[in-house]
Amino acid sequence: MTRETPIVVNSVRDAIVSVLQREILSGIHPPGRRMLERELARRFQVSTIPVREALIELENRGLVRSRFNHGCAVIQLSAEEVTHASRFRRALEPAVVAWAGKRLSEEDKRTLHEQLARLESAAEKGDLPEFFYQDIVFHRAVWRPSGNPYAIRALEAAMSPLFACGLMLVKDTASFDLRQEARKHRVLTDALCAGKTAEAVNMLRRIAGNFERQVLAILRGRSHRSSANT
């Protein structure tokens, strides 16, 4: 007799979320691109129901934005929105890192070092889209030991669109040094795993501050050029 296997209702939705989230964070779907339910349903060979549920979850994570009668599009942040999201990140993420530092297990440390290795590999290859994707996964690995799901969800909603926007903005510049950024993440990891929480928090602030400055500089530069051409 065949053993009954319960169906996980959200498994299809979650699989679609996972694929689209990675594609957005690696730049396959640039900011502003529409995400059409019927096209996605054909692509994944499913009905529009799990696609619609997946888009709702992606909106909750801050990666897409829905508009009445226009469907969903990949989020596109203004300089003001980047400032707000970055300010929120600066306020919350250091606290989450400090909480994580108090609860870090040996398994958590292994997970962090494994994820750091993926980040460093992307940096060595000069693979910017992969680096940005592995970067957000790295930060999730830092947040998870904090044990605070509310803070983690809030950071996910603020930082996912920041990273998606940042990728599209820095990919055409030479100012974003992947190897240097990877080295900063190694310092953060080593400090956190050694119980030097204050040092880890300070490095996190440096990483976040540098990212914010570079993204805002590019956005404002584009705004000035656009104004000069009108």
Q: How buried is 30 (Cβ within 10 angstroms: 0-12 exposed, 13-18 middle, 19+ buried)?
A: middle
Residue that wins the pLDDT comparison between 220 and 162:
162
Domain 11-74, what architecture?
A: Orthogonal Bundle (1.10)
Binned at pLDDT 50, 70 and 90, residue 224 comes out as low
Q: Which amino acid belongs to residue 64?
A: V
Averaged pLDDT, 70-82: 89
Helix (H, G, I), strand (E, B) or coil at 174: coil
The domain limits of the chain are: 11-74, 79-228
**Amino acid 16: pLDDT:** 94
Answer yes or no: is pLDDT of 3 > 70: no
Averaged pLDDT, 152-169: 90
Which of 81-85, 87-91, 158-162, 217-221 is the least confident region?
Answer: 217-221
Answer yes or no: is pLDDT of 119 > 80: yes
**Amino acid 172: pLDDT:** 66
**Amino acid 227: pLDDT:** 54
**Amino acid 118: pLDDT:** 98
Answer yes or no: is pLDDT of 4 > 70: no
Q: Residue 11 is encoded by which pair of tokens?
A: 């498994």
Binned at pLDDT 50, 70 and 90, residue 228 comes out as low
Cβ neighbours of residue 25 under 8 Å, at least 6 residues apart? Answer: 63, 129, 132, 133, 136, 160, 163, 164, 167
Binned at pLDDT 50, 70 and 90, residue 221 comes out as confident
Which of 20-34, 37-51, 100-114, 179-193 is the least confident region?
Answer: 20-34
For domain 79-228, the CATH class is mainly alpha
